[in-house]
Chains A and B, each alone.
Chain A
Amino acid sequence: MGHKILALLLLMMVSSASYSELVIRVTQGNDKPTKIAIAPIDQGGIKISEDISRIVESDLQRSGLFKTIERRDMLAFPGRAQDVYYRDWRLLGTEYLVAGQLRSIGSGRYQLEFSLLNVTAQKTVLTHKVSGSITQMRDLAHLMSDKVYEEITGIRGAFSTRLAYVTAVRKNNIYTYRLNVADADGAREKLVLESAEPIMSPSWSSNGKELAYVSFETGRPAIFRQNLVTAERQQLTNFTGLNGAPSWSPDGTKMAMVLSKDGNPEIYLLDLQSNKFSRLTRHFAIDTEPTWMRDGKSLLFTSDRGGTPQIYKLNIATKATERLTFNGNYNARPNLAPDGRTMALVHRQTDTFHIASFDLKTGRMIELTETRLDESPTVAPNGAMIIYATKQGDRGVLAAVSLDAGVRYVLPSSIGDVREPAWSPFLR
């Protein structure tokens, strides 16, 4: 009986899978968010299926740094800077206003011209034009968010980036694993690979055009690379034992990975031009989860050579290793922030697995999350947020936390378990 209900529930989940994109719920924001009004775009009679202003609003809200003014409170919807009466906006207590206008520029192209106005100073601080086809309205909206965010915070916006992740659905003992790529806000989910066997460890190429991942489709784990535009794929490894944890080098010419073909999990380097493998570690312990330092000369990795899993740094040229973490009984899966100095990792002080940040210079470890069974942290290319996998009840979901822990949100999904997020690099 219980199983029938479960099966039915799973069936319902599967049938709604086609429009079950990740929905974001902000659980905690910044203490003093900047107030900003995003006036509805003047569409000039052009029919579009997306509400551009709403997309910008939710982008900025999700950053935790902004509080948006309700549309129903607005006294006017100006499309251009010269149409703005500052008094109307001062009354609402907003610090900034964004006004924009869409127009057709021929050949199926549309231009979005928008201005960012400082209401307090009564001046236009930015005017920008972006253009695209009718199907690219979300892209235009995210570009608008990027510009506004960067102008106000001084940090490059990462709203136009993407997220790769794995979902797993189990129905009547049959698993369906999917590797998906979606916009950073969870919209426009696209299937990259579907398999009845496990899919793991997606890793972006530095140009954002390819993914490497582990697939068990051959009956054992193997590393593949796949072009996201052409869907063309290539199997890179087929060794006995582990073939895992691929990590693309910053220059895109090499891939670090874990192989146990010589009897024990070791870090290897694959030269993607010559197809030659070279072994980097030599230890009877578990060595895994390599990730690159920005200069491409060292790797961070997880090893239990000291008795518990801890983070080590490996110099590729000299093969010298150095232990970095000492605080906690489980430190694993390092992921470096773009500053090259802060890493996100899975950290357990005593009992609970949390995401923490670790400063490579000072050795300071800060726990960032309050959820449990947290894993797979991935830092945004602008270093503002970390997305990670966690549990809500028995469901695997994605959640986000800012590097200063001031902002948190969850990305619940209506399909099975969501896991192993990987944030793309900047795509433009």
Chain B
Amino acid sequence: MKVSFIKSGLSALFLAALLAGCSSNPVVDEQPASTDIEDTSVQTGQVDSSEIEDAAVDVEAIAADTIFYFDFDKALLKPESRAALLEHSAMLQGNPRNVRLEGHADERGTREYNMALGERRAQAVKEFLVLQGVSPSLIEVISYGEERAAAYGSNDDAWGLNRRVELK
């Protein structure tokens, strides 16, 4: 009960943050709030962390990030992705389920090269999870290259949001 209250309160906060963000570029790909509340909360990286503390939310109670970001033409996991990935590997070992890692690239560079880059990023996430003990048979990797942008606009902010791996 309490957790769900916190979550919905948080999601409202995030929606507000997202809406506020909408006035300037990039336009964030709008997902319906419904079942994606946990996914939405993953956007922590995008929101000013002080706002979260102001709201006095117990960060521990929130589901781990499911989107992991990368640098241009790179497939190295960023240090800030570690905590969430450790949490996912613990969850997947305790409660095994099939997951899909979708790798993406920003629009710069060529489409087929970006397909390969997206796959390399998703493989990097998979390798991390497998190293932590997750069974590789649970993990499917697929690359969408630059074909499925999360944010629109040809600018650094949009590109940063698009260089990602989504855990589904």
Contacts and interface: CB of A to CB of B under 8 A. Distances in A.
A281 to B, nearest CB: 12
B119 interface: yes
A289 interface: yes
B116 A375 contact: no
Interface residues on B, range: 20 to 34
Contacts of A373: 107-108, 154
A198 B147 contact: yes
B109 A309 contact: yes
Nearest to B111: A200
Interface in A388-421: 391, 394, 419-420
B141 A289 contact: no
A308 B117 CA distance: 12
A346 B116 contact: no
A47 interface: no
B119 A260 contact: yes
B152 interface: yes
B144 interface: yes
A312 to B, nearest CB: 13
Contact of B113 (A2, A260, A289, A394): A289
Contact of A2 (B22, B119, B142): B22
A65 B101 CA distance: 51
B112 A201 contact: yes
Most chain A beta-carbon neighbours within 10 Å: one of B31, B107, B112, B152: B112
Contacts of B22: 2
A116 B116 CA distance: 52
B148 interface: yes
A346 B141 CA distance: 28
B143 interface: yes
Interface string B99-115: 00000000111111101
A303 to B, nearest CB: 9
Interface string B27-66: 0011100000000000000000000000000000000000
Contact of A260 (B29, B30, B116, B148): B116
A173 interface: yes
Contact of B115 (A2, A288, A330, A346): A288
A110 interface: no
B153 interface: yes
A258 B119 CA distance: 12
Nearest to A396: B107
Nearest to A243: B115
B120 interface: yes
B116 A258 contact: yes
A346 B142 contact: no
A96 interface: no
Nearest to B30: A3
Interface in A284-311: 286, 288-289, 302, 304, 308-309
B110 A286 contact: no
B112 A173 contact: no
Given A198-B147, A373-B107, A241 B141 contact: yes
A220 B116 CA distance: 14
A54 B119 CA distance: 49
B98 to A, nearest CB: 13
B108 A333 contact: no
Given A173-B29, A220-B142, A242-B143, A288 B153 contact: no
Interface string A163-175: 0000010000101
Contacts of B73: 304, 308-309, 330
Contacts of B142: 219-221
A261 to B, nearest CB: 11
B108 A332 contact: no
A258 B112 CA distance: 9
A353 interface: yes
Interface in A197-247: 198, 200-201, 216, 219-221, 241-242, 244-245
Contacts of B113: 286, 288-289, 302, 304, 309, 332-333
Interface string B73-113: 10000000000000000000000000000000001111111
Contacts of A289: 110, 112-113
B112 A394 contact: no
Nearest to A246: B112
A346 B148 contact: no
B119 A242 contact: yes
18 contacts: A173-B30, A198-B148, A200-B115, A219-B142, A221-B142, A244-B112, A288-B113, A288-B115, A289-B113, A302-B112, A309-B109, A330-B109, A333-B113, A346-B109, A373-B108, A375-B109, A375-B111, A420-B111
Given A332-B113, A333-B110, A372-B154, 4 more contacts: A242-B119, A302-B112, A346-B110, A375-B109
- Which 4 pairs from chain A and chain B are nearest by CB? A198-B147, A286-B116, A333-B110, A265-B116
